[in-house]
Amino acid sequence: MFDTRPGDRATAPRRRRQEQEPASDAVTEVAPDVVRMQLPVWMPGLGHVNMYGLLDDRGLAVVDPGLPGPRSWRVLKGRLARAGFRVSDVHTIVVTHSHPDHFGGAGRLAKAADARLLTHRAFETMSTKAPAVGPDEAEAAEREAAALAQLLDVRFEDLPDGAEGFLPSPGGANAPWSNPTPWGEKPTGPSFVRRMLLKSLRLLFTPPRPTDRVRHDDPVVLGGREWRAVYTPGHTADHLCLYDPGSGLLLSGDHVLPTITPHISGLAEGFDTLDAYLATLDLVADLPGVARALPAHGHPFDDVPGRVATIKRHHDERMAKLRAATAALGPATVRTLSREIFPEKYWGMMAESETFAHLQHLVHQGVAERSLVEGRFVFRLAGADAA
């Protein structure tokens, strides 16, 4: 039924990263009863999203059903047909996190298939909010954070931002860029053409309405396996991986990608997103028996601890560049520092957001200090004289 050739590898020009390759129409079995179907993505730096099918005697669950809109929907139905399924055979949809190339098609598919929709407890978008945090939820969040602390072998109080950091409130790290940004700059915003595209997609968009919200270490039975929910905030505040201890399979979403380093957003004021990301990188690298990652972009890969080590080195290098730039410039804004460490073609909100995340981390480490000057945060090395 499926393409099982060794061709589940890069066929694009060598200079292109795996995650940038255009969507293939192949349906590939990447593990017993797990198939990979690629959907097109027209977003900066990406060419496809992997929609995984977890097969069982009831049909299948799908993970991350792509962008909204008619083109993506046509391709999704075509990929299911190529795998031997209809939309009505989908009984469960898993969304790893709140980015549109992952949740965009989930609402329409859930409605058309009358399927369950599973996310992490913190999942929210502009049209889908996480449930309000009451006393019982706060207690549950603290239990979740304590479980993570035990798994990471750290003290509870050493976790990023304590329990609150692991259960972001509405308007937190998943919120769209505000005016102004948390670091005090006016957002540059998308181009006119992109705004019109986004507006047209909203008209065709069915909001995702989760029926199942899980917490860290909850069991999730899909595809004849009992997966464990692994909460991995950092890339977003609601990022969810699934791990099957029996086979060592990790559905890694955007948490660990094969050839690019996931964007770390600095949109949550007061929350050290990079610290959360680095801690949960170690969490997935240390999963007992982890054997193969099934990422949301790029090809499946086997050395999860090795890839985690490479990603952590990248962030160490980024922070070293920021320290050097801050030492050379003296007190500087996020925008100024972002333009010191990113090439001009990448200047903009994403570069500033990631720079802010790294600067926040340096502040939490005591390496840097920040002050508010005319509505904007200004950073300098700790102990340096203020200009």
CB 40, CB 71: distance < 8 Å: yes
CB 90, CB 109: distance < 8 Å: yes
Measured in whole angstroms, how far is the alpha carbon of residue 370 from the centre of its chain? 27
What's the pLDDT band for 3 if we cut at 50, 70, 90?
Answer: very low
- The lowest-confidence range among 169-183, 254-268, 360-374 is 169-183
Cα angle at 65 between 23 and 211, to 5 degrees? 170
CB 241, CB 220: distance < 8 Å: no
**Could you tell me what percent of the chain has a pLDDT over 90?**
65
* CA dist., res. 196 & res. 187, Å (int): 17
pLDDT at 158: 52
Q: Tell me the per-residue pLDDT of 325-356, one tens digit each, with 9 for 90 and over.
A: 999 999 999 999 999 999 998 888 889 999 99
pLDDT at 175: 43
Q: What are residue 356's phi and psi, to 5 degrees?
A: -60, -40
Q: 19: which 2 tokens?
A: 């995650």
Residue linked to tokens 């590939």: 28
pLDDT at 202: 56
- Please state which CATH number belongs to domain 18-324: 3.60.15.10
Give 51's strand partners: 37
Q: Kindly list the domain boundaries of the chain, sorted by start residue.
A: 18-324
pLDDT at 125: 82
* CA dist., res. 65 & res. 80, Å (int): 11
Q: Which residue has the higher pLDDT, 285 or 160?
A: 285
Q: Tell me the per-residue pLDDT of 35-65, one tens digit each, with 9 for 90 and over.
A: 999 999 987 789 999 999 999 999 999 999 9
Pairing mode of beta strands 116-120, 90-94: parallel
pTM of the model as a whole = 0.85
pLDDT surpasses 60 at 192: no
Tell which residue, 376, 296, 295, has the closest CA to residue 334. Answer: 376
- DSSP designation for 259: S
Give 384's strand partners: none
Q: Which residues of 139-149 are buried (b: 16+ CB within 10 A; e: fewer)?
A: ebbbebbebbb
